[in-house]
């Protein structure tokens, strides 16, 4: 581990504030626990949000960024609605997940991460989500056998959608895109650039401070 | 018809709770003319609705009694009950105030014998007990009420009931023709001692106050603990009238929460600590109190009470803001759901009864009154030179305990006296 990273670790809260979407709110948590108690997936998490926030403040970088907890968030927004301090908890959770992914620390084999990746790649192709392709990809995400099983199970729904013209089978062949895919890609590239510059600057600031 | 003499050397005190009584008495005992108005039929305010009050755990009747003695022996203080302010114009040293006096339908002849109450049958929710029981339509608001005079509920005026009450009165005290009266007076200074009200627990949707009978508020719990209250001092579950022995308290029910009241109501922690002593008083070691809290804010000398309660093995503290309350249908037990911050364990714990330590908010929405006064974010009156000769006393200014409310009222009284002295000096 380089010296820089060691220093970096001592200031995990600052790292989060600088790099994670809405990360500056983490210090505002007063540990009341209403988010954790209100989360429908609460019983399944390794660490409820309030604990994640405390872990950030206790410098537990590795444990936080490698945790699967943030990836359980379904964006139901119960926590945001209930938080007595109006912390944007949902956004912080997604921000942490995204940051962990960027750092290559997110646990492998997370269904929500897999889905997010496929959704994004699919969207990037034509500037529109091709639901048919995305759906099929998801069916086969865990192998051929499971894919076939799921397809058979969903057969009736699919036929129904065909009949009511809610699904166009031709979309499977390529599908339609948005008007200016080149423009969209340029915009996304620009956004990525801005984000990277911001992160680099934040890193510089952190290192000069510590 | 009520007539009142007032001049620009008179101080008007609005609200007859502990703060208003104090402010009015301090000024009157300094030789100022004071008019004290109270919207309810009796003085006393919310302190009169407590079973006991901390820190000394005395009965409110005691504090009331002292003040009533002072009131009775003072000739400079004029009290108007069932009275509210409808408008204020003018400036420091010269305010023109309009008062609205609602009829009591009972005059000074009343000896509080109770014959009218015996004669009537109609009943209404008892405001004094926060609607936990009913009272007659001819009633004395509570045992220590001042003035000790019955009230006829305006909702029976024009009915057979009212005539029955009138006929039963042996001293001809009932006057059913009394009307709402408007009174315009001039005063030099105004003290707003309008106090607080409990935050509406129905707004805290996840706690189910509106749906789960055995979820009650802290102010209701005070009435339940009182031997003169609706349950004769027994801690009874509203659902089945069984005695509640294992009781949970939820702190910050409405307070310190941007969804409800942003401010800390400050008194609720100490009030809950006090209420655990009621449970011990009733059941000894048999009762259980469980306090769910974010952090305990027992300010300065109330720390002693906190330390004492912490020693009690029947009291448990759980560091957690409860996420929701559900109900066990078969037992009627409320179930508290959440995550304990000390260890992050998930809990789903049933209790006999749950008490919401509801927050305190200003009893009056001053933005709705035609007055010019500076308010803070929570709607309490802020001290501001721009307020001129208008001052707040007690809980009209903030969530305060009795001790602080009374100190604050005394300070406001002094400020009002200064205004009056200036007026007097200018005119001499
Ligand atoms: C559950 C609970 C328990 C508590 N227990 C304690 C305790 O044990 N010890 C302690 O020190 N403190 C306690 N407190 C705090 C205590 O109740 C307050 O400090 C006290 O009531 C303040 O008195 P006040 O006169 O300022 O206000 P209030 O008691 O609210 O009196 C205000 C008066 O003004 C009248 N009024 C309102 N609006 C108008 C109007 N427009 N016109 C005319 N009159 C009006 C009201 O009818 C009332 O009579 C407790 C609080 C809570 C929530």
Same domain, A29 and A95: yes
With a CB cutoff of 8 Å and minimum separation 6, the contacts of A94 are A21, A70, A73, A75
Residues of B in contact with A33 (CB under 8 A): 319-321, 323, 338-341, 344
Tell me: do A96 and A149 sit in the same domain.
no
What is the spatial distance between Cα A127 and Cα A44, in angstroms, rounded to a whole number? 35
Q: What is the mean pLDDT of residues A136-162?
A: 89
**What do you get for the CA distance between the two ends of chain A, in Å?**
17
pLDDT tens, residue by residue, B172-199 = 999 999 999 999 999 999 999 999 999 9
Is B321 in contact with A85 (Cβ distance < 8 A)? no
Same domain, A102 and A115: no
Would an 8 Å CB–CB cutoff place A68 in contact with chain B?
A: no
Q: Are A137 and A101 part of one and the same domain?
A: no
Q: Is the pTM of this model over 0.80?
A: yes
Position A170 confidence tier, pLDDT thresholds 50, 70, 90: confident
| Backbone torsions φ then ψ of A164, nearest 5 degrees | -90, 10
- Say yes or no: A135 and A171 in one domain: yes
Residue A95 near chain B (CB below 8 Å): no
Evaluate if residue A206 carries a pLDDT over 90.
Answer: no
What whole-number distance in Å separates Cα of residue B302 and Cα of residue B129? 27
Q: Does residue B154 have a pLDDT over 50?
A: yes
The CATH number given to whatever domain includes residue A14 is: 1.10.1060
Whether residues A9 and A105 fall in one domain = yes
In this structure, the answer to whether residues A39 and A79 fall within a common structural domain is yes
Q: Is the pLDDT of residue B156 over 60?
A: yes
The helix (H) or strand (E) run that includes residue B309 is: helix B303-311
Which residue, B380, B387, B394, is CA-closest to B419?
A: B387
Of A109, A142, A167, which residue is a domain's last?
A109
Q: Are B351 and B252 in contact (CB under 8 A)?
A: no
Strand partners, B99: B85, B183
* Within-domain flag for A200: no
One domain for residues A86 and A7: yes
Are residue A152 and residue A128 in the same domain, yes or no? yes
pLDDT band at A204 (very low <50, low <70, confident <90, very high): confident
Mean pLDDT on B321-330:
97
A197 occurs within a structural domain: no
Kindly state whether residue A206 falls inside one of the protein's structural domains: no
Of B65, B82, B165, B84, nearest to B122 (Cα)?
B165
Per-residue pLDDT averaged across A79-95, rounded? 96
Residue A102 lies in a domain: yes
Give the tens place of pLDDT for each residue, A90-137: 999 999 999 999 889 999 888 888 888 899 999 999 899 998 889 888
Q: How many domains does chain A have?
A: 2
Structure token digits, residue B232: 């004769």
Min Cα distance B321 → chain A (Å) is 5
User: 3-class SS at A41?
Assistant: coil
**Same domain membership, residue A54 and residue A35:** yes
Question: Which tokens go with B196?
Answer: 């607080």
Cβ(A103)–Cβ(A65) under 8 Å? yes
Q: Taking 90 as the threshold, does the pLDDT of residue B243 lie above it?
A: yes
What domains can you pick out in chain B, each with its CATH number?
10-102+180-195+363-427 (3.50.50.60), 115-168 (no CATH), 199-359 (3.50.50.60)
Question: Is position A140 within any domain?
Answer: yes
Q: Which domain holds residue A22?
A: 3-109
Residue B214: φ, ψ to 5°: -90, 20
CB–CB contact B321 A48 (8 Å): no
Q: For residue A210, what pLDDT band results from cuts at 50, 70 and 90?
A: low
Cα B418 from Cα B30, distance rounded (Å) = 11
CB of residue B20 inside a 6 A radius of ligand 1: yes
CA distance A101 to B183: 73
**Which residues of chain A have a CB within 8 Å of the CB of B326?**
none
Cβ <8 Å between B294 and A36: no
- Assign A199 a pLDDT band (cuts: 50, 70, 90): confident
Task: Supply the ipTM of this predicted assembly.
Answer: 0.88
pLDDT of A8 above 60: no
Same domain, A28 and A123: no
Specify the residue with its C-alpha closest to ligand 1, atom 15. Answer: B401
Contact B345, A43 (CB under 8 A): no
Domain shared by A89 and A133, yes or no: no
| Burial class, A71, CB count within 10 angstroms (exposed 0-12 / middle 13-18 / buried 19+) | buried
CA distance B325 to B337: 6
């Amino acid at each position: 581990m380089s010296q820089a990273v060691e220093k970096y670790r001592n200031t995990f809260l600052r790292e989060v504030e600088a790099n994670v979407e809405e990360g500056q709110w983490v210090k505002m948590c007063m540990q009341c626990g209403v988010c954790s108690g209100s989360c429908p997936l609460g019983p399944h998490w390794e660490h409820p949000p309030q604990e994640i926030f405390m872990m950030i403040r206790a410098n537990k970088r590795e444990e936080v960024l490698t945790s699967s907890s943030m990836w359980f968030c379904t964006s139901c927004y119960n926590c945001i609605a209930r938080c007595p301090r109006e912390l944007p908890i949902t956004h912080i959770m997604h921000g942490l997940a995204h940051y962990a992914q960027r750092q290559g620390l997110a646990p492998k084999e997370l269904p929500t991460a897999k889905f997010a990746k496929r959704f994004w790649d699919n969207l990037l192709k034509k500037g529109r989500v091709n639901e048919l392709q995305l759906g099929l990809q998801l069916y086969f995400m865990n192998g051929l056998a499971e894919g076939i099983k799921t397809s058979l199970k969903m057969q009736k729904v699919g036929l129904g959608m065909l009949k009511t013209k809610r699904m166009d089978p031709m979309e499977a062949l390529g599908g339609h895109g948005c008007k200016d895919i080149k423009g969209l890609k340029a915009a996304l590239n620009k956004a990525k650039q801005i984000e990277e510059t911001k992160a680099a600057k934040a890193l510089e600031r952190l290192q000069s401070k510590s | 018809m009520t007539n009142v003499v007032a001049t620009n050397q008179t101080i008007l005190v609005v609200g007859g709770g502990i703060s208003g009584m104090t402010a009015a008495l301090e000024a009157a005992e300094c030789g100022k003319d004071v008019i004290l108005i109270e919207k309810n039929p009796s003085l006393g305010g919310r302190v009169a609705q407590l079973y006991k009050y901390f820190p000394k755990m005395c009965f409110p009747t005691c504090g009331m009694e002292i003040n009533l003695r002072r009131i009775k022996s003072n000739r400079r203080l004029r009290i108007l009950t069932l009275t509210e302010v409808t408008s204020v114009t003018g400036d420091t040293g010269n305010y023109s105030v309009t008062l609205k006096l609602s009829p009591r339908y009972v005059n000074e002849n009343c000896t509080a014998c109770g014959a009218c109450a015996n004669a009537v049958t109609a009943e209404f929710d008892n405001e004094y007990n926060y609607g936990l029981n009913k009272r007659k339509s001819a009633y004395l608001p509570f045992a220590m009420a001042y003035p000790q005079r019955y009230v006829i509920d305006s909702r029976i005026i024009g009915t057979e009931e009212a005539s029955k009450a009138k006929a039963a009165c042996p001293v001809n005290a009932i006057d059913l023709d009394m009307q709402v009266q408007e009174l315009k007076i001039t005063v030099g200074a105004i003290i707003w001692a309008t106090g607080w009200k409990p935050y509406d627990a129905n707004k805290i949707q996840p706690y189910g106050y509106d749906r789960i009978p055995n979820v009650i508020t802290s102010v209701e719990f005070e009435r339940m603990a009182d031997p003169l209250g609706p349950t004769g001092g027994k801690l009874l579950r509203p659902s089945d009238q069984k005695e509640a022995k294992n009781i949970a308290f939820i702190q910050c029910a409405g307070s310190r929460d941007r969804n409800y009241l942003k401010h800390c109501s400050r008194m609720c922690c100490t009030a809950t600590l006090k209420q655990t002593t009621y449970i011990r008083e009733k059941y000894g070691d048999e009762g259980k109190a469980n306090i769910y809290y974010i952090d305990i804010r027992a300010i300065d000398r109330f720390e002693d009470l906190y330390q004492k309660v912490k020693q009690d093995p029947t009291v448990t503290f759980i560091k957690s803001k409860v996420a929701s309350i559900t109900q066990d249908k078969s037992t009627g037990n409320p179930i508290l759901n959440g995550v304990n911050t000390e260890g992050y364990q998930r809990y789903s714990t049933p209790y006999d009864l749950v008490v919401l330590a509801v927050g305190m908010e200003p009893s009056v929405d001053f933005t709705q009154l035609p007055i010019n006064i500076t308010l803070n974010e929570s709607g309490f009156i802020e001290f501001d030179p721009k307020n001129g000769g208008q001052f707040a006393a007690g809980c009209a200014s903030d969530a305060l305990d009795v001790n602080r409310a009374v100190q604050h009222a005394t300070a406001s009284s002094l400020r009002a006296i200064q205004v009056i002295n200036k007026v007097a000096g200018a005119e001499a």
